[in-house]
Each structure stands twice: as C-alpha cells, then as structure tokens.
A and B are shown apart, each in its own frame.
Chain A
Amino acid sequence: MKARVFVTLKTGVLDPQGEAVKHSLGTLGFDGVENVRQGKVIELDLAESDAAKAESSIRDMCEKLLANTVIENYAVEML
C-alpha cells in the first residue's frame, strides 16, 4: 500500500523559505507570483493492505512525527 503525505505550513505562519523562492522567481522575471509556500512530500510504502487501516496508521505517524502540528498541517493521499 503506497501513500503520500503532504506537510505544509499553517496559514499565518511566516515561511521565510517561501518568501525567498518568491523573491528569486521575481528576479528571474516571473511576474505576478503573489505568494509562495514551501512544504514537504513524504512517500510511504506500507505492508498493510487495508486502505482504511493504512490511512489511520499514517495519520498517527503524522501526529507523532511527520508533522509538527504547532506550525504544520498535513494531508494524506492513498495511492
């Protein structure tokens, strides 16, 4: 069972890296980029074959390690 986890900064949390990417895009002539937020994609390959069980286990992983829920949101995509 494969899955992808997207970890992104919560709205309102300043993202210095996103700001730097936005600035750099402007320097390259890409006008009109109003906002950039940078996050992480984590790909998982699980032995579990039951999708519901796998997803629930991944959500637990997100809460305990993969995301810092003080500043980050996460989304799980089962593949």
Chain B
Amino acid sequence: MKSAVIVFPGSNCDRDLAVAFERATGKKPAMIWHKDVSLPEGLDVIGVPGGFSFGDYLRCGAIAARSPISRALVEFANKGGHILGVCNGFQILTEAGLLPGTLMRNSGLKYVCKDVDLTVKTTNSAFTNTYNTGQTIRIPIAHHDGNYETDEATVKLLEDQDRIAFTYQDNPNGSIADIAGILSENRRVLGMMPHPERLNDDALGGNDGTGLFQSLTKALVSA
C-alpha cells in the first residue's frame, strides 16, 4: 500500500499521521507540500492531517482547500482514490466539496481536547473493516470547530446510505446527529474530527486508533 500525507503551512499532525501509515504499511509515506501540483504515481491512500492550516483564516480549511495540491486531491478522489481527513483534514475535505456539510464553532464555544468514546457505525469501508459495528472505541479530539452541520435531508441521506462512520457517545461539540466522521458516497473518502493517529501506541495510553490503519492495510494491500 502506497500512502502520502499532504502538508500545509500550519499542519501539526502530519508527522503523527505519517508514523501511523508507516507502522501499518511498513513503508514511509510520501510527504507532499501544498504547493506541489501533482501527486506521486500509484498512490493508494492520501492523509490530510490535522492542525491549523493557514491559521484557520477565513474559515477552517477554506484556504487549504484552494491550495495548488487540492486540485490534484480532488482528481485523486474522483478517480476512486482513498483519502483520510482528520480534524483540520476533515474541514479541508468539506471545503473542497469532497464531503457534504461543514464544521462550525463548537456549541460550547470552547476548544475541547480530551479522549472521547465513539461508536463505530459501519464496518463497510476501507477505514473501519477491522472494527465491529456498534463497537466503542476511545479516540482523542482536539478542536474548536468540530460542530458538524448539514441539513436534515443530508443527514437522512448519510444514514440511509450507511455513510456515518463514527458517532460520539457524549456529544462534545453540538454536531448534528452526534456525527464524528462520515464517508463519501463511494465510501473511499473518510472525514473525522477525532484523531486515530494519536491513540496508536500503548505507550501513549491506548491503541484504539490502530484498527483504522490496519483496516486500510487490509483493504488496500493487494491493490
């Protein structure tokens, strides 16, 4: 499985994500600077990391989603590539139009940084196939703008198409329908506010995030 991580000015989870990809695949991911206009050949999965790209100016993820590399990212998605967007990465994917809805200011207005319990809602994706449906996993969140917002019709569509990947058990930010992560229609783009790459080692207090990277390896290793 060949992976890459995109790096924007202000990304700060790019190296954690790279470590997670490397552990799962045994290969170092390519690190792609946002000013690059093309991606390496033969990529299976691209990580869009957390952080504060472009200082969260205008709206979180808005400037990054119009960076030179983002055009290549959208093309990669349109060709059926797998993309994982975590935290600011999720915000960027919604701003780029690859996932519906948007992430607004937390309803409590405060930046929230803590471990939260998530329910795995679907195992039907390359990101969640090693979990069990209904399983509780503990993953950290660290965000100010994680309040997922979309219209009722889109929530219903996401539910009907089994595209809600994770929900919060104790909603920390006001997200509609407790949504923590969603899949694209072709199930190959996942955006989530919690950080699976941050609980990927027992030394860091847990490894509930490891399953996500193992899922990717399992699904894409033969690809």
- A residues with CB within 8 A of B: 13-14, 16-17, 20, 64-66, 68, 70-71
Contacts and interface: CB of A to CB of B under 8 A. Distances in A.
A24 B108 CA distance: 14
B102 interface: yes
Interface in B23-61: 58-59
Interface in B64-101: 66, 94-95, 100-101
A22 to B, nearest CB: 12
B106 A70 contact: no
Contacts of A17: 105, 109
B177 interface: no
A16 B147 CA distance: 10
Interface of B: 58-59, 62, 66, 94-95, 100-102, 104-109, 147, 149-150, 174
Contacts of B59: 68
A20 B109 contact: yes
Contacts of A66: 58
A61 to B, nearest CB: 11
A14 B107 contact: yes
Contact of A16 (B58, B62, B94, B174): B174
Nearest to A20: B109
A14 B174 contact: yes
A13 B149 CA distance: 8
Contacts of B101: 70
B174 A65 contact: no
A20 B110 CA distance: 11
A70 B106 CA distance: 17
Nearest to B61: A68
B62 A68 contact: yes
Centre residue among A13, A17, A64, A70 by max chain B CB count within 10 A: A70
Contacts of B62: 65, 68
A65 B62 CA distance: 7
A19 to B, nearest CB: 8
Centre residue among B101, B105, B150 by max chain A CB count within 10 A: B105
A14 B173 CA distance: 13
Centre residue among B94, B104, B106, B109 by max chain A CB count within 10 A: B104
Nearest to B63: A65
A17 B60 CA distance: 15
